[in-house]
Chains A and B, each alone.
Chain A
Amino acid sequence: MAARLVGLKRGFVELASRSSFSLLDAASTPEAIAERAFEVGMPAVALADYFDLGGAVRFTRACERCEVRPIIGAELRVEVLPDTPRRIVLLCMNREGYHHLAALITDGRMSNQRGRPTLRQRSVAPRTEGLICLLRTDEGSSIKEPAFLALQERFRTRVIRLLRELFEDRFFLALEHHGLPEDSRRCAAWIELAELEAVPWVPVNAPRYARPADRIVYDVLTCIRHDMTLDKAGELLLPNGEWYLKSARQMVTRWCAHAPDSERSDPCGCEGCTALRRTVDIADRCEFRMTELKPRLPAFQVPGGRSSDEFLRALVEHGAHERYADRFGSDHRRQIEHELGIIARLELADYFLIMWDVVRFATRRGILVQGRGSAANSAVCYCLKITAVDPIGLKLLFERFLSEGRNEPPDIDLDIAHNDREEVLQYVYEKYGRVHAAMVCESITYRGRMAVRDVARVLGFPVEIADRLSEEVDRGEAADAARSLAAGGAARVGLDPDEPRTRALIRAVWGLNELPRHRSIHVGGFILSKQPLGELVPIEPASMADRTVIQWDKDDLDLPGFVKFDLLGLGMLTMLGKAIAYVHWTRGVELDLAALPPDDPMVYDMICAADTVGVFQIESRAQMNTLPRVQPRCFYDLVIEVALIRPGPIQGDMVHPYLRRRRGEEPVTYLDPRLEPVLERTLGVPLFQEQGMKVAVTLAGFTPAQADNLRRAMGFKRSHQAMEGVGRDLAHGLRENGVRPEVAEKIFKQLTAFANYGFPESHSASFALLVYASAYLKCYYAPEFYCALLNSQPMGFYSPATLIHDARRHDVEIRPIDLAHSEWDCTLEGTVPALRIGLRYVKGLGKAAKGRLQAALAAGPFDSAEDVVRRSGLGQSDLRTLAEAGAFETLWPGRRQALWELLRQARGDAGPLAPRPAARGRGPLPEMTDIERMAADYRSTGLSVDCHPMEFLREEMVANGVLSARELAECGNGDEVSVGGIVICRQRPGTAKGVMFVTLEDETGFANFVVMPDVQQSLRDTLLRAPLLLLSGTVESDQGVVNVMVSDASLLASRAGSALRSRDFR
């Protein structure tokens, strides 16, 4: 911590810095401000973003690292006098001041149009205690009329007097001098006024960026804000590069009456130096720190006069009885007592009760919920039915969830059926009130492609060039994009790398790295507080109706001590809920997810065969490629499977050793014999975060708290830095415990790999439950499974068309859209249920048409085409869409005939004078061919229930020796093959070193391809764009997993034409 500033009467503290949280109006992160302050030897620095405290926590952390005292503040726009807003900077002296500032920002944000905050003087008046106020004086007018100047001075005097009345001795004028011609005159006028009114003034530089070089980023952001190119921005840009965080020496040079050049740096007794020293005095008065906040949760309303702890205990005991029944033993009691004790000592009973209440609400409403993440390590959560995994049975580590050594609240993530999540969110808002509840925000930072597009646009490059430039960079961060452009990307687009504009492009893209671009709502993070939340952290309206968000994202909550409730939407839960209901309706079978037959061999056979399209978490191409190798045969195998195909294990080189050991191709060994109990279940290969913790405890003598720190370093976003710190302790511990250096190095490397999304075992176990449940449903209740899947879209990995083809391969009868039988959603018909596609899959039916159809269907099924026209009231366009989709097949056979008839009916009676058609007309319309029908299906619904597009090409394919997916599966290693199909997956994962993976689908199944970077270069256009591909290459077959190493690619023409869509880079 930095030394107190008392007695430090020399130097300068910047009191009005802005960070990138003044969105698009500042160019440096809070961390960069803190680092710059440290570099220039500033003892403290204030952050004053515009109506925003979003950077406050990051700023505090960064200042602590840099040993610079953080001063928390904000800049506000206040109508001190009616209709004449002025900008003031408020700095927090103490906790009371902070609460006032947060409340003022909340008020300004919530009471005005989104993005245009402002405050009235009467709102500020009761909230001035604990705040220092600086009046910004850089606003001026170029009008020099004496009458106007006199008026202006009178106005300024009134503003000064009013603010002094409100803030008393905490009011100062903030003067800025950026070396502009008008600055000297303006400052002189203000100083004169300050003397006249006896108000102290301070110099500020009000930096918009930390370092001089960041000015270009600020200029770019200015142009983005004004939607303008640099060439046209003119005076919208600042006139020089003086708006950076300046050192005391630079400020003395600027303000000291005796230092007109840069040689002199010591402050003297002149007016300017006195004012500079005043900034240090102000900094000294600002003692507030974010760690003082300590927000409290709202007390849960406990019935019967009991305490929260007592009520929680009662609930847990009741739940334990239900969960464990006869199995309840001493181990269970001991663990539950242990957990309840910690919860009581940490005063977290209310937190668990609130979560229990949310789960109870959802369950009563029939909404599927399931806790995931580290909460599954807790027996208390299991007994409260927040989670579904028995942590005692699975020997999960409770300390991963909660420990007394860790000075932070636990994290409970609750998955909620995504269709019903809003109901749960609104319940929380209503129960605790909007004053005490809000969602966490997510700061969306510039990614590479967006940065390239924005900068290129601002620099005046044509749109086509901007698009091509953005295609040259991967979907990484802006810094990666800048590197990529510098390494030849810009030249490939035809730009001269030495041209100033090209160099500027690369520099500016680099500069946008990690800068926030906008703020959105976190996927599910909620926070609650006992005191009004807006006094703890500013709240603002979200872009979605009925939602409010705080200005901090999830990583900012720990430091001030907020407890987050993650209420996440999960499509799979929606799907499972629907499937269970369908099974009940069609077969009268009551399924309970918690009571499915465990370890069903048929389910595992299906999984081992990688027949997992639609199955939760293991349906991706990478998972499918691994399943035949892992051969899962029990629940814990699924836990491993879920965790195995993740960037952590892949980058840590843990996947292949595990697979080899699994198949018995290499012996199960341990880096140290002491690790056997820790790693036994994963065959000596560490896969889970908990194992990482246990390794540290076992081999390095870490306490559980230290191990948890290690785990946090592994999981935290910016963990590489954090890992270095704990790495030293780990290395020391390992050495002390006699671990050989080479072994210690391997252990460290494996643990470091977890930094990229290492999975907790408990999380994997929670997911594995859903894996098994969805696989079970697919295995035994395929029609219901696919029906639920189709009615829960969009979700999962595959398009509805692929799901339909997969369903057909599983002997599910698929019935087409038919207005005589279809409802809006897909439905099931008959005792061996057939799946009827719902009207929701007809493309182009808008909300109005949906409403009309649903209303008409609610009154009963349609019995004729005329009935449809009459009761739905649909227009010609919608009727044509439905007819094209074949929806009238029963009511009027023949799509074209139906449309012909509908057009007449929709037009109504032609009137008495209309010519009468001949009695027999001119014969039938031309019938659709099979190909035309399929093309119409894809065009109007995106899927075809009758056939696969490749069936029409099969004869030609066979004649040319092109194999089907099924035939490919029979091929041996080294065979040269060609396979054609629809592209259902095109991926280039970050961990694959530029390798692209393509999956084709034909009428017989899937075929997998691997395209190396050099081949991609030569076949780029074909590979990246075509929906239908013919790929040739060499077969690599291993343990039933077949991949083709692509050597050539060509387009396949389809008569389904443009209706076909590939599914790319998801």
Chain B
Amino acid sequence: MKVKLGLTVLALCGAVLCIDVGTALAQSYPSKPIRLIVPWTAGGATDIFARIIGQKLTEGWGQQVVVDNRPGASGIIGFEIAARAVPDGYTILLAAQPFTVNTSLFSKLPYDVVKDFAPVTLMAYTTNILVVHPAVPAESVSELITLAKSKPGQLNFASMGSATTGHLLGEMFKIMAGVDMVHIPYKGSAPAMTDLLGGRVSLMFDTVPSAMPHVKAGKLRALAVTSAKRSPLVPDLPTVAESGLPGFESAPWYGAVVPAGTPKEIITKLYTEIVKILNMPDVKDRLSNYGYTIIGSTPEQFADFIKTDMAKWAKVIKDAGIHVD
């Protein structure tokens, strides 16, 4: 009798323990403020995006989503902090291009993109734009390529910094078109734009919101956008692939990841909520005004995307011989 009672109690305990802790947590989630880590400075493009999403999450869930800016070291500082955070769903990382690119640039990273993170959703992507100074005698990408081939080493392109998107795009362009241009790095997009406007550099791969005011004022000429499809912000502008360099495509992307080990139920909850936000009419409006194309992929699709993106840029970096350390 005693043994039977003991076994029953044991079985009941076992049953209690088997209650899915994850589901229990997910049902009460979120019960305290959430930290949204943005590895870039406040006021920048990524930060603005994060704040829009964060604000809507706060409204939807009634729990504060606090944007935590941790700039520095091409995003490594922020990525590392997120990788080491407790995987309870109260730390979200806003990931962007450097997330996949850094692995090929640095020989030693304090985190592993695949092992330390669990993707939530690929939120949106935007495009870059190829602009030239009006004095450059090229009205399209194919003309630019011809010009560059006739003057090897004389054209130069500005970028926001070594190993940033602008630099990598330039290198990809050089490899695919088979031209020789000199890379001039700057500390950020403002000094680069200053020298481009002053005619000291010939061209630049820049973001659309940053370059368009100058294009509209006639101070710069826009040649093409770098994404695979035309941008809704500038539908008249062809893509690089359409206008002389087929196969060229790249798009800065923004996604949400959480530390690996976060319960699957919480990831699903986050994913559903973010996709809901991305489809709200006012959010859609605002984001498309900035030139973002909304995706809202599933966590599995995002994981696949991360793998292909890493491989793509690994090849470009290797072929271009870009070193950081």
A, B bound = no
